Amino acid sequence: MIIRVDKCSTFGIKKAITKSVQYLPKLIISNQLIPKITIGESFQYLGRYFDFHMSNDNHKTELTTLLNELMSDIDSKPLHPKNNLLLYSRYVLSKLAWHFTVATLSKTWVTENIDSIANKYIRRWLEVPISGTLSSVFLTNNKFGLSIYPPSVKFIQCQTVLRKALKSSPNESTNDLWRATSNHTNIQYDAYNSTKEVLKDFRSGHENKLLNRLTSQGSFFCSVTKFALPQLSKVWSVAQSKLPKNIYNFTIRYINNSLPTRKNLNRWAISSNSDCSFCLSPETLLHIVAGCQFYLDRFTWRHNSVLNFLAHQLQTVDGSTLYADLNGFKSPSILTGDTYRPDLLLSCSNGSLYVVELTTGYETNLKNNVKRKKDKYRELLRQLGKNFNQVKFINLSISSLGIFAEECYTFLDMLDSIGLDKNHQMYCVRKMMTIAIRTTYYISCCRNKEWENPDLLTI
């Protein structure tokens, strides 16, 4: 909406010798003509501010004040980060949508002024430092993100809806308005056919950023995109959402590699030393959770905690005999001998044998671990095939953050074939993910400290 003005001391008034005449078309507010407004002030009509210079200064001030008040109010509540983000996504963005629709704002201004406020609180809730990217957070749940987006994306969506309404209107005059306003500013919004396209384009940009530009902070996303089992991504997101705040935020910072490892602290100019206190190798995230040779007993504890849960679940399978490389279970060596000793064997009543080998390594090694274990047990599988009707090798490669490798589809097939229903299968998978995350969190907290050999984690 554009209202003609001149340089008189009043808004919308034309001086005609001795009388004042209002410009047409007339605007009626509360059944009255538009009020007399002095220079420096404005009036509000249908949610939009009008002043003598036709600027949006008042609306910009109201918008930034509103966002600060809403985010501050959410921040003051003792909420889990996922609930903070839920309020932001469903309440705050919807409150901003009206302002984005009626006010004449630029995308650049929204990005620089509104996004910065929202991102500040998002970083605070998730404990992500300024050096940590939010690109991974903006991805969808099935890509290990949190399915949120900044206000600038909502702004583009509002403009897309507004432009589409003008373009598709049955009124020819409205169509003419769309054509007349298809300038360099609005043409960027005309490129989208729906709000879903806006989101898809936004997230595609951040995926590309993680894959091709952020070498360090994008390594997790690169690995899981190539090697993870896609059908379990949402299950992992559910497991993550049920974690307590400290471990939940740990997973976020793990994914974008912004945890306070000595390597990162050195990169951020906080510490002059970047080496592990035990082996003097660079203390990276990989080194802490899966690489340090002095931490092998810690990695074994994590591995056995996951294996212990799985063994107890499979112990209840009717007509089967379970062997597990854990205290309290029959040793797999009874069937395999001492040369090879896989983590778990399940001998079924139909003469089939499942050989399960569990690995809990770093995400970048998901595929390498699969290949390594397959080569290691090839000869054992050939020997066992002589004594059983069918031998199936379950190469259970899980990352230290509970991500299942593509090869783990055989594990799901095994659970299905031994009679576990879908709900029980997903329960097992979710618990194994949770144990992997919690044990990795504990290992990270104990970095550069002596290990006290805790009991296996049970949840």
So where are the chain's domains? Answer: 5-41, 56-214, 216-458
Give this prediction's pTM: 0.87
Say what the pLDDT of residue 182 is.
73
What stretch of H or E contains 325? none
Distance CA 237, CA 129 (A): 22
| Position 2 pLDDT exceeds 50 | no
Counting beta carbons within 10 angstroms of the beta carbon of residue 28, is it exposed (0 to 12), middle (13 to 18) or buried (19 or more)?
exposed
CB proximity list for 334: less than 8 A, separation 6 or greater: 323
* Torsion angle defined by CA atoms of residues 30, 32, 34 and 35, in that order, rounded to the nearest 10 degrees: -90
| pLDDT score recorded for residue 374 | 93
**pLDDT at residue 184, rounded to an integer:** 64
Secondary structure element (H or E) that encloses residue 86, with its range: helix 81-87
Check if the beta carbon of residue 225 is closer than 8 Å to that of residue 202.
Answer: no
Position 316 pLDDT exceeds 60: yes
At residue 186, does pLDDT exceed 80?
A: no
Which token pair is 54?
């036709």
More confident residue, 30 or 70: 70
Spatial distance between the Cα atoms of 111 and 36, rounded to a whole number of angstroms: 34
The H or E element that residue 265 is part of is helix 262-267
pLDDT single digits (tens) 147-172: 999 999 999 999 888 888 887 788 88
Mean pLDDT to the nearest integer, 321-347: 93
**DSSP state string for 138-192:** TS-GGGTS-----HHHHHHHHHHHHHHHHHT-S-HHHHHHHHHT-STTTHHHHT-
What is the rounded average pLDDT of the residues 109-135? 95
- In this prediction, residues 211-217 reach a mean pLDDT of 86
> What single letter denotes the amino acid at residue 110?
V
CA distances in angstroms from 375 to 167, 300, 378, 392, listed in the order given: 62, 21, 5, 15
Q: Strands 390-399, 352-361: parallel, antiparallel or unpaired by DSSP?
A: parallel
